[in-house]
Structure 1
Amino acid sequence: MIRPFGLSDILLIAEAIRWTLALSAIAFAGGAIGGLAIALARTADARWLRTLAMLFIRLFQGTPLLMQLFLAFFGMNILGLAINPWLAASLALTLHASAFLGEIWRGSIEAVPSGQREAATALGLRYYDRMTSVILPQAARISVAPTVGFLVQLIKGTSLASIIGFTELTRTGQIVNNATFAPFAVFGTVAAFYFLLCWPLSLMARRMETRFARATTR
């Protein structure tokens, strides 16, 4: 039986924000660990490490996130490895984030002036000391704005997890719409919540980019 869309439905959709944020946080945290490993491998002296990292990035940047979610969920179950939508979405989004953050941070590492690396080498610093004391602190400053920008895309990307049954913001909207048959009101509300989540981060990223551009021109 179809019922009218009301305040209780808005509150139900609002409660689902926590699952969107939780999935985004897990994917971003896992992606940060994987992305750092990928970035270091992409800038390593060993050619085989650079090749493996490049293949990983091309695989996950060159295929749709939706397909990655399908493979993580349905593929694992077909292989006999029982996995629920929460774990499948976390795995797929973590790998996806690792590829993109790895490339962002690789670019940031390479953006550090080569003279910094040469000076650290001349001082006799080992690879670990060069990276932790000289290169990575400068690269981190460069990477802040694009990293925040990617986080916005990651939050919006969690909406695709609804296709494998993970009940986050978009999936909750679908459930409410099935009960109320008010797609404009329901998905307009969902879109408004995504805007409230993403717009402040987008604004922060733009301000960081502007601040960094001014600092580099001084």
Structure 2
Amino acid sequence: MQDTILAIIEGVPWTVALTAITFLLGAILGLPLCAMRLSKFYVIRAVATWIVVICRSIPPIVWLFFVFFGIGNDIISMSPFVAAALGLGIVTAANMSEVYRGALTAIHPGQFEAARVLNLNRAQQFRDVVFPQLIRIALPTAATYLIGLLKDSAVASTIGVSELAFQAYHVSQQTFQGLSVYGAAALLYIALSLPIAWLSRWADLRLRSRVSR
């Protein structure tokens, strides 16, 4: 049984790495996409809106197949891990842009007016007024999405990434102990998710105390 658990645990680093890289990629790409959604120009807003709608409407597994079997075979060769990170990153960028947009629109307009009265330039407005509130408002939603992304990373097993679900499947095929193997995998997913929830709660309380000062 110990060997079985160790074999499943071998997939944990890949799951953590894939989740972290995908979330970071999506968080970065989501910023310009959010800016486009809030643009004063209709064409830019429309393009960004359609990008978000398309990216969110297609299931993550289809994006993985499109990147790995489509782009990976016909345009540029890439490893299953890279393809999974790109495929999930596309969906994450679209979702994170909506998280940012929701947080920005939740900031009271009076905050921006007060910043202008204090003669703060745009950089100072963003650093001192917008950014602290943006992070505080977006953090709970972003953390919830990160936990969901951790679970969604299991679809990477379909293209051969040796993450947690991939390892659990192959161990169950070798040992014929599906109940115990997938039960152990489920506990590992819970163990990975709980720290994210706790850290999010802790960071949210810290940010609230700073903003309220």
TM-score, normalised with respect to structure 1:
0.86
Aligned ranges 1:57-136 → 2 under 5 Å: 57-123=52-118, 125-136=120-131
**Number of residue pairs the alignment of both structures matches:** 212
CA deviations on 1:31-59 (whole Å, 9 max, x unpaired) are 11111222222223233332222122111
Where does structure 1 lack aligned partners over 5 or more consecutive residues? 1-5
2-structure distance, mates of 1:133, 1:214: 15
Structure 1 counterpart of 2:108, one-letter code: P
1:173 and 1:186 in contact (8 A); partners too: yes
1-structure distance, mates of 2:44, 2:131: 19
CA deviations on 1:57-112 (whole Å, 9 max, x unpaired) are 11111111111111111111342321220110010111111111110111001100
Q: Which residue of 1 aligns with 2:161?
A: 166
- By how many angstroms is 1:126 displaced? 4.6
Moved more, 41-50 or 139-148: 41-50
- By how many angstroms is 1:133 displaced? 3.2
- Aligned residue among 171, 193, 197 for 2:192: 197
2-structure distance, mates of 1:41, 1:137: 21
Closer, same or farther in 2 for the Cα pair 1:47/1:120, shift >3 Å?
A: farther
Closer, same or farther in 2 for the Cα pair 1:183/1:100, shift >3 Å?
A: same
2:26 and 2:93 in contact (8 A); partners too: yes
1:146 and 1:205 in contact (8 A); partners too: no
Q: Which residue of 1 aligns with 2:31?
A: 36
- Aligned residue among 166, 172, 175 for 2:170: 175
2-structure distance, mates of 1:200, 1:70: 31
Where does structure 2 lack aligned partners over 5 or more consecutive residues? none
Q: Which residue of 2 aligns with 1:3?
A: none
Structure 1 counterpart of 2:42, one-letter code: R
1-structure distance, mates of 2:186, 2:7: 14
Q: Which residue of 2 aligns with 1:14?
A: 9
CA deviations on 1:178-199 (whole Å, 9 max, x unpaired) are 2111111111111110011113
**Is the partner of 1:67 in helix, strand or coil?**
helix
Closer, same or farther in 2 for the Cα pair 1:123/1:206, shift >3 Å?
A: closer
Q: Which residue of 1 aligns with 2:133?
A: 138
Structure 2 counterpart of 1:144, one-letter code: L
CA deviations on 1:129-151 (whole Å, 9 max, x unpaired) are 43333222211111111111111
- By how many angstroms is 1:205 displaced? 4.7
